Amino acid sequence: MAAYTGRFAPSPTGPLHLGSLVAGLASFLDARAAGGRWLLRIEDLDPPREQPGADDLIMRTLDAHGFEWDDAPLWQHSRLDAYSQALLTLRDAGHVYPCVCARKSFTGVYPGRCRGRTFAETPGPYAVRMRVPEGAAVFDDRFLGPQRMPWTDVGDFIVRRKDTLFAYQLAVVVDDAAAGVTHVIRGNDLLDSTPRQLALFDALREPAPTFGHCATVVHADGAKLSKQTGAAALDNRVAGASLLTALRCLGQDVRELSPDLSPRQLLTEATVRWDPGRVGFARHVSAGGAPVR
């Protein structure tokens, strides 16, 4: 196993946009600068949200932007047995319980109403919730430094939905553990997920990776770039310009990088110059790469 294994894990809900490029680029450069491996995983766990062909489109876009990944990409739909197995492990160890509460029956953090329920005495359908520990989740973010999140702010969270789909939180941990991922580098819109994933690594007795969260790219009105907010798809014809913008969004110094370089050359140059110490410069950046208050 390489000393460093990173990954990019897009959901095939639509084409990649600048926000996804920033997260993918951060994970790629951090891995390559460390001489590590970089894996691609397609997170197709939620069919109603997916767009047919988006996985293919994502891979072609990554290719046009000069990215090369190690090994064959992994599709989460091929991993359902592994998620079932992990759920059994959690269940046998008493980390999870069945929950029959409707999402609309509470606001904010789940109040733990079903904590006392047992699987044997609860007829389906039910969601499966993970019991969070006492105290606080503490971790050292690669870009943001020490983080502390009280478990009372997180609450018991769903690992398998009532409609029997596995939750993102469980799948991501099972897959990162199986692939030997040592560094999870992604956008800070997922910072809230990190305590949940740390709890799962711990409960499944797997070593937790290092987490690093880079800036999210926002529209002028402050809304995160996403398919829902109408973010523009990356245009392969201007891949070099998009890479330079994404590097600015990561706080990197691009003054010596010529826009005439091919995407692959740009990535090579950016890897040599990669400065993880500059990534935490902003929580939110505009589509031009400037920090947003």
In the chain, DSSP finds a helix count (H) and a strand count (E) of 8, 12
Per CB under 6 A, contacts with ligand GLU among 211-240 are none
Q: Which is nearer to ligand GLU, 8 or 110 (CB)?
A: 8
Our CA dihedral for 57, 66, 182, 284, rounded to 10 degrees, sits at -80
Q: Which is nearer to ligand GLU, 55 or 156 (CB)?
A: 55
Assign 168 to helix, strand or coil. helix
Q: Which is nearer to ligand GLU, 5 or 11 (CB)?
A: 11
Asked if 30 touches ligand GLU (CB under 6 A), the answer is no
Q: Residue from 5, 6, 10, 17 that binds ligand GLU (CB under 6 A)?
A: 10
Residue partners of 10: CB distance under 8 A and separation at least 6: 16, 20, 24, 42, 43, 58
Quote the strand ranges of the chain, DSSP E. Answer: 5-8, 37-42, 74-75, 96-99, 127-130, 136-141, 145-150, 157-160, 183-187, 210-214, 216-218, 284-286
Minimum Å gap between C-beta 83 and ligand GLU is 15
Binding residues for ligand GLU, total number by CB under 6 A = 7
Per CB under 6 A, contacts with ligand GLU among 158-187 are 172, 186
Using the rule CB under 6 A, give the single segment among 5-13, 56-64, 107-115, 281-289 that binds ligand GLU.
5-13
Q: Residue from 5, 6, 11, 110 that binds ligand GLU (CB under 6 A)?
A: 11
Using the rule CB under 6 A, give the single segment among 8-16, 152-160, 199-207, 243-251 that binds ligand GLU.
8-16
Helix ranges (H only) for 132-187 are 151-154, 168-178
Using the rule CB under 6 A, give the single segment among 6-14, 65-73, 111-119, 132-140 that binds ligand GLU.
6-14
Using the rule CB under 6 A, give the single segment among 3-11, 46-54, 125-133, 239-247 that binds ligand GLU.
3-11
Per CB under 6 A, contacts with ligand GLU among 86-115 are none
Minimum Å gap between C-beta 186 and ligand GLU is 4
Q: Which is nearer to ligand GLU, 178 or 272 (CB)?
A: 178
Phi, psi of 230 (to 5 degrees): 75, 30
Minimum Å gap between C-beta 190 and ligand GLU is 5
- Chain position carrying tokens 């992990």: 86
Our CA dihedral for 31, 255, 64, 287, rounded to 10 degrees, sits at 90
Asked if 43 touches ligand GLU (CB under 6 A), the answer is yes
Quote the strand ranges of 3-95, DSSP E. Answer: 5-8, 37-42, 74-75
Phi, psi of 40 (to 5 degrees): -120, 130
Minimum Å gap between C-beta 41 and ligand GLU is 8
Contact set with ligand GLU (CB under 6 A) = 9-11, 43, 172, 186, 190
